[in-house]
């Protein structure tokens, strides 16, 4: 009884919104920043001449560190150039409306002052600054939603992983024949209390973004329990679908909607071909790695990233674009350049993105459509050399202009087979040009 009543006191007394109200800010936001940062950011995916394949945040596994060996990285974690305000400003200037930071990735190292663990930035690292506190405060100050990522997989905690198995290979931890009888203890006595700390000590949390849902030790009962546990503490928080076991691979969507907990689907490094009716967010890297990896120079172009944002919004999703800061706390210059380019574009064309909904039409050859009440936005990736743009035949144009030039009205011609717009010969924007079409009823 004692326990129940003290828990009840900790329950939030904020007004519980209905689901549409709760999801509204997130649905309108469209664009967020993912930040993968941890002890792995010191390693950069390299051990001597060895380079980790794939994401550098997997260094512990990929570069075969033992748990003891790996601890030296948290012991070195001292990113003196970390400036939460500057990070948030960069996200804001890029047009991002929320930030999701890896409070704890698979390596197990916590970026906040956790009372249930010494494996954190205060107790284990020389840094001794609570990263989550600084970032959540900077977000609040600058009016951007603070959100955190939490890995269910934990390669460091003795009850969560391979200490139980000699010569344990971490990456085989999704083998359903290997059962870790101690995992429920980790879930109850470590994971939940850590998640609770993050939900009680850092103000309002926009999204709780889980990962590591695939391991066989984690059950759907735990997922459902965790979801309601979170909503009890912060009723209006949004939780991704990786809190439960509903995700069916990298397309990130649930097979059986309604059967599993979670508020949105999480396609990873891919964008669905067509629009999806339920909530979803595609997360993606700018090069091939989530964590800082200087050897990976395969950067997506700014134009590609802007087109991806548009593509995602035209299909009803959100775009969570990743940054992997280095071990000093700096964003890679290649990432900054891309954030700046996206900021320039969203500054001019944000009207066609924020609060917009999916295109009612199949994607045209030249680009994508997004929609708002009474308005359609044509996002032109391939500007026509002919000076005419073909629109879907059902579009009834009342008035059309280039979004950045509301004074010049574009002529339109509708025949029974098509609707054609007369557009400038030169593309108004070097990446994606947007035409605003006010619709006749």
| Pairwise CA distance, residues 135 & 99, whole Å | 9
Q: How far is the CB of 113 from ligand FHN (least distance, A)?
A: 23
**Region from 50-58, 79-87, 381-389, 423-431 binding ligand FHN, contact rule CB under 6 A:** 50-58
Q: Which residues within the stretch 206-245 sit at the binding site for ligand FHN (CB under 6 A)?
A: 211
Q: Dihedral, CA atoms, 47, 52, 55, 59, nearest 10 degrees?
A: -40
Q: Taking CB under 6 A as the rule, does residue 263 contact ligand FHN?
A: no
Render the burial of 102-111: b for 16+ CB within 10 Å, e for the rest: bbbbbbbbbb
Question: And the tokens for 179?
Answer: 């059962």
Which of 29, 31, 39, 57: binder of ligand FHN (CB under 6 A)? 57
Q: What are the CA-CA distances from residue 296 to residues 54, 306, 384, 407 (Å)? A: 9, 21, 35, 45
The reply to whether 107 sits near ligand FHN by the rule CB under 6 A is: no
Distance (Å, whole) CA 385 – CA 427: 9
Contact residue for ligand FHN among 32, 55, 316, 317 (CB under 6 A): 55
Please give the size of the binding site for ligand FHN, defined by CB under 6 A.
Answer: 7
If one asks whether residue 290 binds ligand FHN (CB under 6 A), the answer comes out as yes
CB 331 within 8 A of CB 90: yes
Output 268 or 344, the one with its CB closest to ligand FHN.
Answer: 268
Q: Choose which of 107, 244, 263, 268 interacts with ligand FHN (CB under 6 A).
A: 268
Q: How many CB atoms lie within 10 A of CB 90?
A: 20
SS3 content of the chain, % helix, strand, coil (to 5): 30, 20, 50
Asked whether position 281 contacts ligand FHN by CB under 6 A, the answer is no
Q: Is 319 in the site for ligand FHN (CB under 6 A)?
A: no
Number of C-beta neighbours around residue 270 at 10 A: 13
In contact, 210 and 152? CB cutoff 8 Å: yes
Residue 416 C-beta: closest distance to ligand FHN, Å? 48
Applying CB under 6 A, the span of 54-62, 75-83, 228-236, 378-386 interacting with ligand FHN comes to 54-62
Tell me: does residue 113 bind ligand FHN (CB under 6 A). no
CB of 240 to ligand FHN, least distance (A): 9
CB of 274 to ligand FHN, least distance (A): 22
- Distance, in Å, from the CA atom of 140 to the CA atom of 58, rounded to the nearest integer, reads 31
Nearer to ligand FHN, 289 or 346 (CB): 289
| Footprint of ligand FHN (CB under 6 A) | 55, 57-58, 211, 268, 283, 290
């Amino acid at each position: 009884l004692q326990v129940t009543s003290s828990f009840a006191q900790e329950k939030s007394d904020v007004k519980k919104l209905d689901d549409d109200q709760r999801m509204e800010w997130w649905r309108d936001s469209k664009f967020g920043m993912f930040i993968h940062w941890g002890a792995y950011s010191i390693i950069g995916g390299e051990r001597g001449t060895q380079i980790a394949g794939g994401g550098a945040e997997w260094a512990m596994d990929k570069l075969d560190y033992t748990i003891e060996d790996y601890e030296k990285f948290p012991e070195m974690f001292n990113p003196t150039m970390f400036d939460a305000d500057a990070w948030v400003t960069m996200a804001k200037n890029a047009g991002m409306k929320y930030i999701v930071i890896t409070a704890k990735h698979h390596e197990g190292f916590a970026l906040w002052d956790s009372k249930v663990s010494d494996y954190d930035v205060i107790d284990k690292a020389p840094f001794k600054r609570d990263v989550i506190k600084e970032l959540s405060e900077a977000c609040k100050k600058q009016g951007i939603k603070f959100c955190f990522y939490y890995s269910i997989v934990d390669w460091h905690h003795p009850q969560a992983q391979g200490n139980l198995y000699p010569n344990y290979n971490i990456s085989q931890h999704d083998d359903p024949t290997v059962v870790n009888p101690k995992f429920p203890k980790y879930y109850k006595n470590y994971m939940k209390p850590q998640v609770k700390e993050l939900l009680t000590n850092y103000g309002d949390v926009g999204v709780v973004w889980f990962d590591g849902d695939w391991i066989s030790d984690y059950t759907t009962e735990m997922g459902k329990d965790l979801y309601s546990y979170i909503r009890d503490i912060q009723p209006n928080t949004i939780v991704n679908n990786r809190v439960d076991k509903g995700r069916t691979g990298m397309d990130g969507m649930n097979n059986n909607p309604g059967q599993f907990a979670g508020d949105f689907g999480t396609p990873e490094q891919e964008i669905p071909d067509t629009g999806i009716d339920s909530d979803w967010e595609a997360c993606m890297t700018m090069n091939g790695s989530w964590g800082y990896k200087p050897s990976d120079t395969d950067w997506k172009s700014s134009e590609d990233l802007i087109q991806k944002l548009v593509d995602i919004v035209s299909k009803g999703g959100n775009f969570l674009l990743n940054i992997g800061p280095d071990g000093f706390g700096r964003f890679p210059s290649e990432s900054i350049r891309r954030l700046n380019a996206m900021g320039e574009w969203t500054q001019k064309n944000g009207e066609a993105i924020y609060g917009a909904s999916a295109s009612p039409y199949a994607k045209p050859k030249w680009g994508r459509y997004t929609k708002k009440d009474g308005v359609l936005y044509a996002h032109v990736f391939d500007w026509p050399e002919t000076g005419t743009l073909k629109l879907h035949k059902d579009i009834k144009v009342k008035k059309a202009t280039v979004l950045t030039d509301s004074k010049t009205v574009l002529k339109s011609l509708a025949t029974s087979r098509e609707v054609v717009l007369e557009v400038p010969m030169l593309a108004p924007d070097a990446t994606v040009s947007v035409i605003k079409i006010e619709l006749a009823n």
